[in-house]
Amino acid sequence: MQTHLIIGNIFSLLSAICIAVSAVKQSKKDFMYWQIGDTLFGIFCNVALSAYAALVISIVCFIRNLLSYKSKLTKNITYILLILGVIIGAYANNLGIIGWLPIIASGSYTICIYVTKNEQQMRWALAVNMLLWFIHSAYIKAYPSAVCNIVLCFWTLFQVYKNRKQFKKN
């Protein structure tokens, strides 16, 4: 069990680095590029830490991020990914209410990625996403991700505040 925790936390750290880099990117394309890495490492982290709903969601998010990065995320694909994420995530959930947090985070964030091209709105969605993933990561003992998630939640909210005048113009 200890080996799984160590391996899970190594992948958690790599995931945290990718999400941290994505948080400071200005363009949606750069933002999504680094989030592809986040979800890829998240897949391995969730396998190691036996978080099966989060594993399913990480796979769905990986596909979503890749399609968004390539500008191929359509409305129909978005709906399919949302439905698959909720149904398969609910089926795979082995953590009760905690297992639902990644499903909720992913669903709301998927909608935001499809609906907006505005970085400020994406930052709001990312802050909520990070808060939900923080709770989940802390619970499954993915400590690097948990620390990164809460720091990024506050950092993202700071960026929202800092860019609020730009947001009002859009």
Q: What share of the chain is helix, strand, coil (3-state, %, to 5)?
A: 85, 0, 15
From 39, 68, 61, select the one nearest 107 (Cα to Cα).
61
Burial of 117 (0-12, 13-18, 19+ CB in 10 A): exposed
Q: Do residues 167 and 130 touch, judged by C-beta distance below 8 A?
A: no
**From the centroid of its chain, how far is CA 169?**
28
Q: What residue ranges do the domains of the chain occupy?
A: 2-169
From 135, 161, 129, 100, select the one nearest 31 (Cα to Cα).
129
**pLDDT tens for the 170 residues of the chain, in order:** 699 999 999 999 999 999 888 878 878 888 889 999 999 999 999 999 999 999 999 999 999 889 989 999 888 998 999 999 999 999 999 999 999 999 999 888 878 877 887 888 888 888 998 899 999 999 999 999 999 999 989 988 998 898 877 656 55
